[in-house]
Amino acid sequence: MRYRELGRTGLTVSEIGYGAWGLGQGAWVGADDASGVRALHRAIDLGVTFIDTARAYDRSEGVVGRALRELPGGGDGVHVATKVGPKVPLSLASSGLHPDEAFPGSHLRESLETSLRELGRDHVDLLQLHTWEDEWTGRGDWLETVDALKQEGKIRSFGMSVKDHQPENVLTVLRSGVLDTVQVIYNVFEQAPADALLPACEEHGVGVIGRVVLDEGALTGSVRAGVTFPEGDWRNWYFRDDRPAQVEKRVDALLADLGIGIEELPSTALRFALAGRAVSTVIVGMRSLRNVERNAAISDAPPLTDRELAVLARHRWPKNFYS
């Protein structure tokens, strides 16, 4: 496992991180507490030192907390990030609201205290807002609360999780100097962050956490026309209608252009994201031991060549399956 600095936070993290949304047993069907703990333990055994969870991820924080408590030293050396969602429903936390309606300081503190209880920790290494509107910059009392939580030792650093497919919607607050990290969708298909956000993060010393680097499975090669998912799994909505066929066509073209087999696709996709400017870690959902071992091993693979990166750059696909 290789390690990188997480921006200016002073933290060193594994370049393959653990995305813990799937451990929550809400949107993703097929997980349970015991299997989640086993997967986390194996990831940590293989050198993963960064775990990303959230208040909104159902049981996820509790599973992460249990896994760490069962380790010698309570998981010393493992860095935990969580997120606080808006006080209003996520779908309503958009333009037109005052930030005090979405993220009042009292709500940040209350959410964090709940997260700490679930995690069984006295602090988190990174607290992130789970959405953001850049017009909120400089308004509201949320930043005063963030500063207070840092002084109290309850959070070490602060960042934002950028809205889906809106990487430009954080540039103003980033340039104001209040962010330590940014979490953003970045993958072979969604390359828009490379236009302005990643260079801005590099300029300002802000660490980048790449999410959805395998595009919810589309960049593993497992999403083909006719694919099905367990009943109740949110991917039935994400990959609805003719979307699997669209993915299959795009993936086949990518493989042909690179001259590789489908089994090489996940490694290629992860190495693409890791090649992004200012990227510190990529968080991958890994619920099975097989996937943990496969993804952790990618850190040992050689970086993509300039030729490979140039080929992948041609496969940018501006879509938004979340809409």
**What pLDDT is attached to residue 94?**
72
CB atoms within 10 A of CB 256: 9
Two tokens at 100?
């005090």
Place of tokens 């290494």: 125
**What pLDDT is attached to residue 97?**
86
**What pLDDT is attached to residue 95?**
67
Domains along the sequence of the chain with CATH: 3-217+269-303 (3.20.20.100)
Two tokens at 82?
């969580």
Q: Whole-angstrom Cα distance, residue 212 to residue 97?
A: 27
Burial of 285 (0-12, 13-18, 19+ CB in 10 A): buried
CB atoms within 10 A of CB 91: 8
CB atoms within 10 A of CB 246: 17
Determine if residue 177 is left, alpha or beta; phi over 0 gives left, psi from -120 to 50 gives alpha, anything else beta: left
Q: Whole-angstrom Cα distance, residue 179 to residue 174?
A: 6
**What pLDDT is attached to residue 189?**
98
Which residues, given as ranges, of the chain have pLDDT below 70? Answer: 95
Q: Which of 178, 192, 190, 210 is nearest to 278 (CA)?
A: 210
pTM: 0.97
